[in-house]
Structure 1
Amino acid sequence: MAERYLRMPYVEKGMAVGLFGGSFNPPHAGHALVAETALRRLHLDQLWWIVTPGNPLKNHRELAPLAERIALSEKCTTDPRIKVTAFEARHRIRYTADTIRLVQHRNPGVDFVWIMGADSLRDFHRWERWREIAQSIPIAVIDRPGDTLAFLSSTMAKTFDHARIDENDAPVLAHRRPPSWTFIHGPRSSLSSTAIRDAAREV
């Protein structure tokens, strides 16, 4: 694995940058659609595609090597504003709250926004220090098949209902003081990493 993937991408003060983290096991067109939608609708200068060492909430027995997931992620993305990175591995980070704290500390003057699919919103209250995350960074939730209603029914959505802004205001989300979040509707992909792994086992 190239050394550059263990470093944070280069940014400049005043930029709006999306943080899109996940196991990407494997990455697929659905992930790319979320990233591209976020770039367009949030008017981002960059999006960091953060390949995690391993999600604490998921089974690691089927987790492909980090280098393999990075290489496949690079093949999924064509927009030069999308930066594939695995800096969490160097810092031995396991939890999103710690990732956000490190990124914000290292990059003062940059406006970050957390990007996630609606399927993650459904389980967001199970994340370590989830309230801290919502109170430390704006969050953009991108629609995913079968999870459109998550923004109404999830614990996070109910807890921070007062902080939700209309998706028409998404271009200013990265610059707002948290807690602040929005749900973005748009084209959806039915692909999932779990289904792809299941299909591979059946071959």
Structure 2
Amino acid sequence: MPALKIGLLGGSFNPAHDGHRHISLTALKVLALDQIWWLVSPQNPLKSETGMAEYDERLASAKEAARHPKIKISDFENRAGTSQTAKTIAALKVTYPQHKFVWLMGADNLVQFPHWYRWESIMNQVPIAVFNRPGYRYKALNGMVAQKYKENRVLANSAGISLRAFPTMKPPAWTYLPQTAHKVSSTEIRNYRDTAGKACS
């Protein structure tokens, strides 16, 4: 496989939706990525198993929502037996040493990032692109992670820097993309389905 610049979007995808697709299409364009891999997690360690759909169902919803030849649905975490991002990225870099990986996350996840397993090692493994989420911009940009790594933030068009070069930068490096706010969330979709199901029963 030739060397590629690949964005990694991890999550439960319970279910996958247009918000995931919107982030991915923006990343492909702004960061000049060759592909996006949706890493469907067997079980997010920070989320309850209550209300979690079966893995195959979530994998299928991701394939249905992607609708783009450059968005690939991956069961790598399930096959590797890990759901912790630090371990997943380390395994991916060993398995695919020729690729350049960028971790993609929402601003809400940047706020809770210090609760992730070995989160600082994630910062040191790959560049991280943070996408705007309604209501989280201030918390994300003024939170612990942003403050600790403020010298490593990459701004578009700052000092002649283009975000198209971002995937090849040496970590720690992170950037914030404000133009990607999307109101849809997996939780809202599940709540809507539950409400609609009760109304029809």
- Calculate the TM-score normalised by the size of structure 2: 0.91
Task: Identify the match of residue 12 of structure 1 among 2, 26, 31.
Answer: 2
Q: 5 Å matches for 1:59-74?
A: 59-74=48-63
- Give distance in 2, aligned partners of 1:68 and 1:167: 38
Task: Identify the match of residue 114 of structure 1 among 103, 106, 114.
Answer: 103
Is the Cα contact below 8 Å between 2:133 and 2:182 reproduced in 1?
A: yes
Match in the other structure for 1:101: 90
Which shifted more, 185-194 or 32-41?
Answer: 185-194
CA deviation after TM superposition for structure 1 residue 74, in Å: 1.1
CA deviation after TM superposition for structure 1 residue 187, in Å: 3.9
Match in the other structure for 2:46: 57
CA deviation after TM superposition for structure 1 residue 109, in Å: 2.4
Match in the other structure for 2:169: 176
Match in the other structure for 2:125: 136
- Give distance in 2, aligned partners of 1:94 and 1:50: 10
- Give distance in 2, aligned partners of 1:104 and 1:198: 37
In structure 1, what residue type is equivalent to 2:80? H
Structure 2 unaligned blocks of 5 or more: 197-201
Aligned CA-pair RMSD: 1.2
In structure 2, what residue type is equivalent to 1:12? P
Q: 5 Å matches for 1:42-53?
A: 42-53=31-42
- Calculate the TM-score normalised by the size of structure 1: 0.91
CA deviation after TM superposition for structure 1 residue 198, in Å: 1.5
Match in the other structure for 1:195: 188
In structure 2, what residue type is equivalent to 1:143? N
Structure 1 unaligned blocks of 5 or more: 1-10
Runs of 4+ in 1 over 6 A off after TM superposition: none
Give 3-state SS (helix, strand or coil) of 2:179's partner.
coil
Match in the other structure for 2:23: 34
Give 3-state SS (helix, strand or coil) of 2:137's partner.
coil
The change in CA–CA distance for 1:136 and 1:166 in structure 2 (over 3 A counts) is same
- Alpha-carbon displacement from aligned partner over 1:76-111 (angstroms, at most 9, x marks no partner): 112201100111111110200000000011111211
